[in-house]
A and B are shown apart, each in its own frame.
Chain A
Amino acid sequence: MTEIILDLITLIFSILLFCIIIILLIIYPKIQLKKIEKRISSLKRT
């Protein structure tokens, strides 16, 4: 019984970690791009 629960915890943790990595790889470029675009637009204004 304990093994089944521990298996489930390990599996959920691994899949959550996988999702986090995927989400980070999707979000990171978008955030970086927005930051750079903001800087470009502020530089252009000045």
Chain B
Amino acid sequence: MPKLKSTYLLIISMTMLLVNAFIIFSMASFDRMVYIIFFYHVASAWLSYISFGISLICHILYMTKKEIKWSLHGKNSVIIGVAFSGFTLITGSLWFNATSGNYNNIYWQWSDYRQTMTLILFFSFLAYLVFGNMIENREKKARMTALLGIVLFPMVPLSFFSAIIFSSLHPLITPDPSQSGYIYWDGLKIFCLLINLIAISIFYYYCMQELLEIDKAKEQLDIIIQKKKNEDS
């Protein structure tokens, strides 16, 4: 039954993304075609922040309740977060190259706080996954990764607010045309962006369910291996 439910989630999210892509390409008007990247860049950035946020909650719950499932949820959330923050970084630098110097091969600006902080965020959580895989003992792994997940979390608000607090070339979206220094987006474009955010959030929930299935199977495998070892000895 849960398998069927997760398949439904996948179908719903993919349908939403496809229909929305059709609306974006056919109805929304842009000064330049490359502006369409924004719909996917923002959606994946949103999902990576949400994933890391949920992983923080899971790690705190593990530390308080000591239930292994919370540690596993936290790790799975980080996997999704890392995948989408990687995509955010790539599309961000492509966007930068397209809009700042009109294809002068300028992909990266180290002085841009948002770009640099997101890169640090990406590598921090990638290191978290590598570190987690290096520990064999289940309990120790859960404890150490939970601790690391909590310690690394401040990178997320730092990355998000860096474009607002510090100087950044990162543009911000607004539905108000009178605000200078922002990208003005009309109602339709903001609606399309919202649909992408909802679709990708449903996809996140689907991925969490699927990754949990792996953890359950791994647990079953560990029990069988342990039984075999006991029988042999």
Q: Taking beta carbons and an 8 Å cutoff, which residues of A are in contact with B? A: 2-4, 6-8, 10-11, 13-15, 17-18, 21-22, 24-26, 29-30, 32-33, 36-37, 39-40, 43-44
Contacts and interface: CB of A to CB of B under 8 A. Distances in A.
A43 B37 CA distance: 48
A6 B218 contact: no
Interface residues of B, number: 37
Given A10-B94, A33-B214, A40 B44 contact: no
B17 to A, nearest CB: 8
B210 interface: yes
A32 to B, nearest CB: 5
A25 B220 CA distance: 23
B189 to A, nearest CB: 16
Interface of B: 10, 14, 17, 21, 32-34, 36-37, 40-41, 44, 80, 83-84, 86-87, 90-91, 94, 97-98, 102-103, 203, 207, 210-211, 213-214, 217-218, 220-221, 224-225, 228
A40 B221 contact: yes
Given A6-B103, A10-B34, A29 B211 contact: yes
B221 A39 contact: yes
Instruction: Please indicate which of the listed interface residues A30, A36, A44 has the most CB atoms of chain B within 10 Å of its own CB.
Output: A36
B40 A15 contact: yes
Contacts of A43: 221, 224-225, 228
7 contacts: A2-B103, A6-B103, A14-B41, A14-B90, A18-B91, A29-B214, A36-B218
Nearest to A6: B103
Contacts of B224: 40, 43-44
